[in-house]
Chains A and B, each alone.
Chain A
Amino acid sequence: MTDTQNSSSIIETHLAKLNESNDSVNKHKADAITSFMKMGFPTTRHEEWKYTPTLFFSKSELDYRNSYVVKNSEVLEPSVFESINKIVFINGSISLHHSVFTDDIEVHHIDASASHTLFQAHFNTLANNTKEPYVAFNTSFYMQGVFVVVKKNSVLEQPILIEYHDTSEAVDYLQQIRNLIVFESGAHASIIVKHYTKDAVKSLSNEVNELILYPNSHAKIYLIQDNLHEIQNLNTWEIAQERDANCDVFTYSDSGALVRNNLHIAMNAPGLTCDTKAIYLASKKSIIDNHLKIEHKLPHCSSFQLYRGVMNDEGTGVFNGKIHVHVDAQKTDAYQSNKNLLLSKNANIYTKPQLEIFADDVKCSHGAAIGNIDENALFYLIARGISKATAKSMLTVAFANEVIEKLDNEAVKTYVEKAIERALDADIRY
């Protein structure tokens, strides 16, 4: 039996089972399967997946419906960030035993949330199951995930950590994680998502997160994707901002066989701001792909995007940033900047800064640049007795610093600075 036959028979039995039940979540799943079957897994002929081959998902022999059974005795890597709110996944399965949280937030297993009114109101409302094959795939087959509510007016001093731990057993499971996070009105919190990979496992994961920001809430999302080794990670964030809500997203990626970040922010009220930043370092044979879509739906919103990439060895970087200004979004102010350093002969970068503008009274600009380290700057440093290698590292770090210095979370800032130096194998003594 071929792989495709295998997976399609799994899908059909799954669909038949879902159609038997009346449950609303199962209805979502059944619909998603239907649209997924229409789309299939995207090949590189698909516009949005042009530079990012992901066909291993369809070829994988994994059973989509099996999830890892967590052992409470599991000894995990210690967290690099401090917090009293921590949600832990092990090989794609949530482990409540390893998680802790305070009264400021509610955390439920996604399968045990169906009765919650907020869950009913928001689950699967943002996920684009008709256009995004992997989102539909996730909606159809997710097994694990959390439903998190940051309660009304609670201001969290410490971040909420979402940790994904991969052990050597991870390789046997396709991790399809589905999270729904709701910030109630006036809630302020940071979320740090980080992967911990013990060994060089070759795991596959497809994560879909929906984040709802009620009026006047403020979310800061930090996605730290380091030490991913051979992991292939598809990571979707669908964010909806309501009146006076603020949203900042920072992504740091420096490893993994393939990392695809889909970030979609819908600005649903007038006068909103959102701020997205990223640093991506693609080295060895990594493919790091950042797809970004900012939707300006109503007037007076501003968005800001700052993406910096460094490609080394045989690494490939992909950036696709779309600013979509709808007809009603007059007085929009949107800025996008994407700069890339290509440090080696075999590195590649594909960038597509895209503007789609349907309103006239707007100010939108984008810039993209690609090049190597400035020779003059390099010469300046070498002339002052610094070795060429160190000078290169210094300049690369300085390049990334443009983003880092804008981070307002000190712990993340320090961590990322170190991570960059480690990733660049830099030995910098100032």
Chain B
Amino acid sequence: MTDSNQILDDHTNSEYKWGFVSDLEQEFAKKGLNEDIVKFISAKKNEPQWLLDWRLEAYRIWLTMKEPQWHNVSFPKINFQDIIYYASQKKKPNLNSLDELDPEIKKTYDKLGIPIKEQELLAGVAVDYVMDSESVFTTFKKQLAEKGIIFCAISEAVHEYPELVKQYLGSVVPVRDNYYAALNSAVFSDGSFVFIPKGVRCPMELSTYFRINAENTGQFERTLIIAEDDSYVSYLEGCTAPKRDENQLHAAVVELVTLDRAEIKYSTVQNWYPGDKEGKGGIFNFVTKRGICKGVSSKISWTQVETGSAVTWKYPSCILKGDNSIGEFYSVAVTNNHQQADTGTKMIHVGKNTRSRIVSKGISAGKSHNSYRGLVQIQKTADNAYNYSQCDSMLMTSESGAHTFPYIEVKNDTAKVEHEATTSKIGEDMLFYCNQRGLSDEEAVNIIVNGFCKEVFKELPMEFAVEAQKLLQISLENSVG
């Protein structure tokens, strides 16, 4: 036991590897939030009137709303007037090749270990970098355009494909959905827009890396993905942020829409700065992610690996509206030190023969708290709906906590819903078995944790799976025996 405590101490001492600041000239909006700021952001982006009106309405709705209190996390009250809602690089880069990229940015990405060239050449991934609110560089656009796929910054889409944006923006996450969604709708800075036309299978995995850079700027991403009939896309989102002492707010909204027989696979690796070992600093990650299976036999699959953020508040959900549609949620959430996570999913079954599957793995170490909160709702119309949920928690230390709040609401007698959950310590017998075979505690923990999470990792695309495993290894380095 002393050994494991020692190991744990070692771990808690390990510092955040990706905390550095890149020195870029930036342009800021004034601190605080009011209608003028909303107008300022909109003007900066040269937005059409309808979008400005939409933002202003969202802002007015936000003013009437209250911060949610039901979650199982606690954090100091956020001063929304102490946040800068817009920051962009002063000079807008206009690049023909990656070599022209600002060397500072290039350095940042190199430190993050994103091999741009390699990804471009070898992996065939088109990367849409978001460096503090502005889309910096978009690759592979041409190749995608040939297939009719649109993959661009949402601010660009507003100008080039206004009809699509107008039709779908806010259709899955309405402005008044929740407090943070309303805030995002008012001040969203940028994000990705993806449109896959009928019958097209996206030839590569689309990916975005988010970074929070300038001090005191919140990031308010807005992502919208639309998959038309018989199309398929796999989208990757990954995050790392530099080290900061003050809490930073990240309130994103992601909307997915699948039409008949379409499929969207959305994968996230979230590694925002979690705060130091005293629980100081760290990102508040309050995200609303929701997809709607609008068409028949469509499918939305969420996979997430959550290792970062001081506070995570995130429930990627599926509305299974089309008959025979499928929703999936695979999650690994790791919390350490003073991190808090309240995450899970909502599966709303509306159509007939809809199926959903939830696999959630929570790992709590240090003094952290990890909650699974999920809703499975079978509505009256959802004949023969089926859901299977499994949420397992693993506890690494006696000071950590694991909590489960599954809500199950069934209004149809032909439905079948199964829910299972277990919570236990990392098995001493398993560790002993590994030790006996000459593996160190650390290796043993790695093997066991990887086995525990395997079901989720196998859902991740290849590149991400490797990254996720590495991340987990680092997050739980020397965790417990």
Complexed CA–CA distance, A237 and B407 (Å) = 24
* Residues of chain A within 8 A of B412, CB atoms compared: 342, 345
Binds A, one of B59-67, B118-126, B206-214, B392-400: B392-400
Confirm or deny: B70 has a beta carbon within 8 angstroms of a beta carbon on chain A. yes
* CB neighbours of A78 from chain B (8 A): none
Q: Establish whether residues A365 and B423, one from each chain, have CB atoms under 8 Å apart when the complex forms.
A: yes
Contact A367 B423 (CB under 8 A): no
Q: Which residues of A contact B413 (CB under 8 A)?
A: 342-345, 347, 372
Q: When the two chains form their complex, are residues A354 and B404 in contact, meaning their CB atoms are under 8 A apart?
A: yes
Cα–Cα, bound, A391→B418 (Å): 24
- Whether the Cβ atoms of B415 and A371 lie closer than 8 Å is yes
A342-B410 CB under 8 A given contacts A352-B405, A369-B417: yes
Closest residue on chain B to residue A370 by CB atoms = B417
Distance in Å: Cβ of A395 to nearest Cβ of chain B: 14
Q: Are B422 and A364 in contact (CB under 8 A)?
A: yes
Task: Count how many chain A residues have C-beta atoms less than 8 Å from C-beta atoms of the other chain.
Answer: 35
Q: Do B403 and A357 have beta carbons less than 8 Å apart? A: yes
**Which residues 408-454 in B have Cβ within 8 Å of A in the complex?**
408-425
Among residues of A, the one whose C-beta sits closest to the C-beta of B413 is A342
The minimal Cβ–Cβ distance linking B68 to chain A, given in whole angstroms, is: 12
Give the size range of B's interface with the partner: 20 to 34
Give the residue name and chain of the A residue nearest to B409 (CB).
A350
Do A357 and B393 contact each other (CB < 8 Å), given the known contacts A344-B413, A362-B424, A368-B419? yes
Task: Note all chain B residues with C-beta closer than 8 A to A347.
Answer: 411, 413
CA of A361 to CA of B4 in the docked complex: distance in angstroms? 14
A105 within 8 A of B: no
* B407 & A367 in contact (Cβ 8 Å cutoff): no
Chain A proximity of B408: nearest CB distance (Å) = 5
How many angstroms from the CA of A346 to the CA of B410 in the assembled complex?
10
Chain B residues near A349 (CB-CB < 8 A): 408-410
User: How many angstroms between the C-alpha atoms of A330 and B409 in the bound complex?
Assistant: 33
Do A363 and B424 have beta carbons less than 8 Å apart? yes
Instruction: Verify if B406 is at the interface (C-beta below 8 Å from A).
Output: yes
A359 at the interface (CB under 8 A from B): yes
Asked, given contacts A353-B406, A353-B419, A363-B424, whether A358 binds B401 with beta carbons under 8 Å apart, the answer is yes
State the Cβ distance, A299 to closest chain B Cβ, in Å.
11
A360 proximal to B (CB < 8 A): yes
Query: Which residues in A have their C-beta under 8 angstroms from that of B404?
Result: 353-356, 366
Q: How far is the CB of B356 from chain A (nearest CB, A)?
A: 13
Question: Residue among B410, B414, B415, B418 with the most chain A CB within 10 A?
Answer: B410
Contact partners of A372 in chain B: CB under 8 A:
413-414, 416
A343-B413, A368-B408, A372-B413 as given contacts; A355 in contact with B421, CB under 8 Å: yes
In the complex, chain A residues whose CB is within 8 Å of the CB of B414? 372
- The reply to whether B417 and A371 form a contact with Cβ atoms under 8 Å apart is yes
- Tell me the residues in window 70-116 of chain A with beta carbons closer than 8 Å to chain B beta carbons: none
Q: In chain B, what residue has the closest Cβ to A332?
A: B423
Contacting pair B408 A360 (CB below 8 A): no
Give Cα A342 to B413, complex, Å: 5
* Residues 162 to 207 of chain B near chain A (Cβ within 8 Å): none
Q: Which of B397, B403, B407, B424 contacts A352 (CB 8 A)?
A: B407
Tell me if B420 and A367 are in contact (CB < 8 A): yes
Residue numbers in A under 8 Å from B70 (CB-CB): 47
Q: List A contacts of B419 (CB < 8 A).
A: 353, 366-369
Q: Does B402 contact A (CB under 8 A)?
A: yes
User: CB within 8 A of B421: which of A327, A362, A367?
Assistant: A367
B405: chain A residues within 8 A (beta carbon)? 352, 354
By a beta-carbon cutoff of 8 Å, the part of chain B in contact with chain A is: 70, 380, 393, 395-425
If A360-B396, A365-B420, A365-B422 are given as contacts, then 15 extra A-B residue pairs at C-beta distance below 8 Å, sorted by A number, are A327-B398, A340-B410, A342-B415, A348-B409, A350-B408, A353-B406, A353-B421, A355-B403, A356-B403, A356-B404, A360-B425, A361-B425, A366-B404, A366-B420, A368-B408
